[in-house]
Amino acid sequence: MICLHCTLNLFSAVSLFPSIPPSTNESDLRNQRISTRLFIIALVFSTTILIGYNFFIEVTKVSNVNSPDLTQYLDLYSKYPQTLTCPCTDITIKYEEFLEIEYTLHQLCSSTFVTNDWIAYLAQNHVLTTDYVAGFLELGTYMFQALKTFCESSNKTISDSLSQFYFNEYTSLTVISKQLFESQSQILMDQFKSSTKNTFLSLLQTLRDTTQANTPMSAVQSAYVFVLPDIDDIVTQGEAEYQCSCDLTPQCTQPLQMYDYNFAIQFSIPGLRLGCFVIEGVLQSTLECFYNQTCLNKVQSYIISPISINVIALNSSLSSQFNQTSTVQEVVNELMVDKWNLSKNNVIEPTIRKWQKIRNFLQKLNLFPSIPPSTNEYDLRNQRISTRLFIIALVFSTTILIGYNFFIDVTKVNNINSPNLTQYLDLYSQYPQTLTCPCTDITIKYEEFLEIDYTFHQLCSSTFVTDDWLEYLEEADTDDVSYIADIRFSGIYLFQILKTFCESKNNAAEPTIGKWQKIKNFLRKFNLFPSIPPSTNESDLRNQQLSTRLFLTSLILIMAILITYNASINVTKTVTIDKPTLTQYLDLYSTHSEILTCPCTTISIGYDKFVHIQYTLHQVCNSTFVNNSYIENIFWQNSPITIGFPDFFTTYPYILNALALFCQLTDNIVSDSLIEFYSNQYLSATVTPKQLFELQAQASFQQFIISKINDLLFIMQFIRDTTQANNFFSGILTNYDFELVLSSYYRDMTLLQPIPFELSNCSCMLSALCTEQAVIYDNDYNNNSSFIVPGLYVGCYIVEALLQSTLECFYNQTCLNILQSYGGFSSFMDVIPLNSSLSSRYNETSTIEELVNELMIENWNLSIIYENYYNGCQPTQCSYSYTAKNNAIYIATMIFGLIGGLMTILKCFIPRLVRLIKPCFWKRRIVPEMPVVQA
């Protein structure tokens, strides 16, 4: 109880608001104590509310982890997968820094079967057959050369594509989760595999189609064979088996046999096929025999070669995505790759190791580069050594200077701020020669250090000049006084004069102070910086008053400047809209197009999410003219035709077949290209406006298609040029013909002579572009033309003739009827002409080359869905800024917000400033202490 009573007494007596100087007035003390109690109660109440509020509410705390390593990141992600954000130092990283794609080719590509030793071993037993059928002994060398080419070409294609792939950059603003990163890495590898395979297979397919269209003759007579219809002529005839003709398709095959010299079948090799061309046969073959050592030994038993070689069969126990009966086409479709392996290096970390940066920087630091910069390694090494020596010398010299200045004696200046008289006298006794005390005020009024006191005559303070005394004299009876000089009569006047004199003297010593003088004195003595406890030192008071005046002047001036500045300037104001919908965004963009910014959550979006592309081929690609049944009917209705006579019907089925191949080729290229285009990524850190987005998407698509067209045309032109340069012999004798030369001195010879095109004065030996109008001759083959087919040409090669031809006959029913009538078909085929009334970008006289140059595409239909792009971008907010004048409320709020801090700064700064600069404006002098004169 005693302690409680003491505590209550202490609490009732405490005062947090004492007056300065302390007051003894009981009323003031009571007010101070009441204020203290209200303050404590309000403080406790407010603190309780704040503690309770902050205790129960949920708040979001942000923790920063600087330069986290991968282990830290994974640990943090496992705890905070939804809220963890780790900004990347580098937002673009090359694929080669975190992806490594490894691949293993089919074991065939590392086996003995694709070595030069094995191919040479087979070549020693090579026999060029004179019969219609070639066997393994004739074709084996070429087949394994083709397999070796597939292995080398696949490996080279993948290697070159990887170099280009690694140069691409991955874009990421923040670290993504490991699962998402691995998923995206797998997608990148799948896109790479798809793109590389499409490129390789498109090239291979283009080569196969142009080869088939040009009908070249193989040296092993696998597609065409020589026939001797009479002793004076040698012509060629296409191979046909089971109603499949190499004239129409290169995919005709039959089992590859092992023959003896009497052409009797000795052994049928399992899996191997003989095709129209070596590559076609290889692609449809399997390697099952070469997985079987017994089968391989049997094949070797028929080979007679001076070269001895030990061949081990392929390992069937190895894990592989292919089996023993997989065709070579299936293996080539996978780029001969048996297994892909994706190695992921987690290098997308928030920061790059600083010590590595510093180390690399120091290693390459060069303060003495040559001009122009040198790339010579010796010069660069010398420059770096010079840089290091310079830095070492600089550090050593700096160390010496620091040590020297640390140990030498220096003159120190001590400042004593606002010394009192006792301190001054003490300092003067110690340092009379060097002591300097600058005066703050170099002029001082006498009234500040002189005080003259005066004392009036005692009369002026006596009873004789008081009103009581004068009233006493006035009431005196003067009736009996007859003389004016009598004191009773004149005394009142005498003492009034004396009183006047006393008052006049007093007024002269103490003049009346008017109100303006009171205000002046108040301002002069106004002090906002009183010391605690209050000082009576005149110098301190003077500094405090000067600080007060400077404080008020500065505060008023600064406030006036701030108000004027904020009232006159234009300020930028930002408006933010959280999670805007597409409608909101379009409305905002219509009114704030130049200043609207909407950051994307996802900066990389696949084109397949917002672009849909459809295309329509030229109508000829959907017509009867490229239908296999129509082409086969024309071929077989005129079969057997002995090729060698330049009639239209000798080349007509080949022209249609080549046209069908072009349609199929371009359709496949466009289809594969669209898959590749859809896999591309559209990058945008902020929402792209709709109009600009559509233009960019269209431009990207146009550039992509142009690049694919250029690739196709380059490949085709390359094949056309190499075909002409190699002077390949056409199997249907369109560029060269046989000529028998009989001689009485030498044996008879067969020569190849280039076919002349007399009308155009052109020879296939000089140019593959030689063409003439296609002509139908009469039935007696006497070179009398019956009908010139409009638009169609014959030339050195079928492809060259077709590219220069037009489709105008196919638009004309009359022309088609004439072809039907001259064709000698056993049954009439209903052929509908092309529709000339259809809207088309081409006309009837457009050449096939013009169509191929546009990928045989009639029209494109590009559909860009902006809403899908916007949803994929997922902007979390949109903001725009505009300029305006500050309003009065803002200015008042700003001033009230600043005034507290401004006053605090000025209160801290100005007193110190006054003490610092005041001595600079006053002369150094010692003010003597003068005695007070007593009067």
Q: What is the pLDDT of residues 268-327, one digit of tens each?
A: 889 998 888 888 889 999 999 999 999 998 888 888 777 778 888 999 888 889 999 999
- Rounded Cα distance between 664 and 209, Å, is 9
- Rounded Cα distance between 644 and 913, Å, is 115
Task: Tell me if 249 sits within 8 A of 255, measured CB to CB.
Answer: no
Mean pLDDT, the chain, as a whole number? 77
Residue 583 lies in a domain: no
Question: Are residues 810 and 755 located together in one domain of the fold?
Answer: yes
Which of 314, 344, 374 corresponds to the end of one domain?
344
CA distances from 833 to 625, 626, 657, 662 (A): 9, 12, 17, 19
pLDDT at 784 over 70: no
Among 610, 576, 613, 614, residue whose Cα is nearest residue 690: 610
Task: Tell me if 222 sits within 8 A of 139, measured CB to CB.
Answer: yes
Question: Are residues 386 and 431 located together in one domain of the fold?
Answer: no
Question: Are residues 52 and 95 located together in one domain of the fold?
Answer: no
Give the residue with greater pLDDT, 255 vs 459: 255
Question: Are residues 185 and 222 located together in one domain of the fold?
Answer: yes
Question: Are residues 51 and 190 located together in one domain of the fold?
Answer: no
Host domain of residue 541: 414-444+537-568+887-935
User: pLDDT, tens digit, for every residue of 85-98?
Assistant: 888 888 788 888 88
Alpha helices in 215-346 (DSSP H): 278-283, 293-301, 328-333
Question: Are residues 843 and 928 located together in one domain of the fold?
Answer: no
Pairing of strands 224-230, 169-171: unpaired
Task: Count how many domains the chain has.
Answer: 5
Which of 301, 321, 344 corresponds to the end of one domain?
344
Give the residue with greater pLDDT, 765 vs 427: 427
pLDDT of residue 2: 57
Among positive and negative, which fits the CA dihedral 708, 712, 715, 718? negative
pLDDT of residue 58: 61
How confident is residue 863, by pLDDT bands cut at 50, 70 and 90?
very high
User: pLDDT, tens digit, for every residue of 541-580?
Assistant: 787 778 888 888 888 888 888 888 878 877 777 888 888 9
Question: Are residues 542 and 680 located together in one domain of the fold?
Answer: no
Give the bridge partners for 278, in sequence order.
none
pLDDT of residue 610: 93
pLDDT of residue 932: 38
- Report residue 590 as tokens: 């219509």
Give the lowest-confidence range in 156-170, 476-490, 706-720, 835-849: 476-490
Give the bridge partners for 572, in sequence order.
883
Residue 807 lies in a domain: yes
What is the rounded end-to-end Cα distance, in angstroms, of the chain? 65
Give the lowest-confidence range in 415-419, 532-536, 555-559: 532-536
Question: Are residues 794 and 718 located together in one domain of the fold?
Answer: yes
pLDDT of residue 842: 92
Among 189, 107, 112, 177, residue whose Cα is nearest residue 144: 112
Residue 579 lies in a domain: no
Answering whether pTM is above 0.85, one says no
- Burial of 572 per CB tally in 10 Å (0-12, 13-18, 19+): exposed
pLDDT of residue 871: 92
Question: Are residues 330 and 370 located together in one domain of the fold?
Answer: no
Mean pLDDT of 907-912: 78
pLDDT of residue 360: 62
pLDDT of residue 808: 92
Task: Tell me if 906 sits within 8 A of 899, measured CB to CB.
Answer: no
pLDDT of residue 210: 81
Q: What is the 3-state secondary structure (H, E, C) of 792-809?
A: EEEECCHHHHHHHCECHH
Residue 930 lies in a domain: yes
Which of 344, 370, 395 corresponds to the end of one domain?
344
- Rounded Cα distance between 62 and 162, Å, is 42
pLDDT of residue 286: 93
User: pLDDT, tens digit, for every residue of 340-374?
Assistant: 988 765 544 444 444 445 656 777 777 777 766 66
Give the residue with greater pLDDT, 783 vs 449: 449
Helices then strands, each counted (H, E), the chain: 26, 22
Mean pLDDT of 625-631: 84
Question: Are residues 772 and 641 located together in one domain of the fold?
Answer: yes
C-alpha radius of gyration, the chain, whole number: 55
Give the bridge partners for 864, in sequence order.
611
Q: Of how many residues is the chain composed? A: 935
Question: Are residues 318 and 257 located together in one domain of the fold?
Answer: yes
pLDDT of residue 330: 92
Question: Are residues 774 and 806 located together in one domain of the fold?
Answer: yes
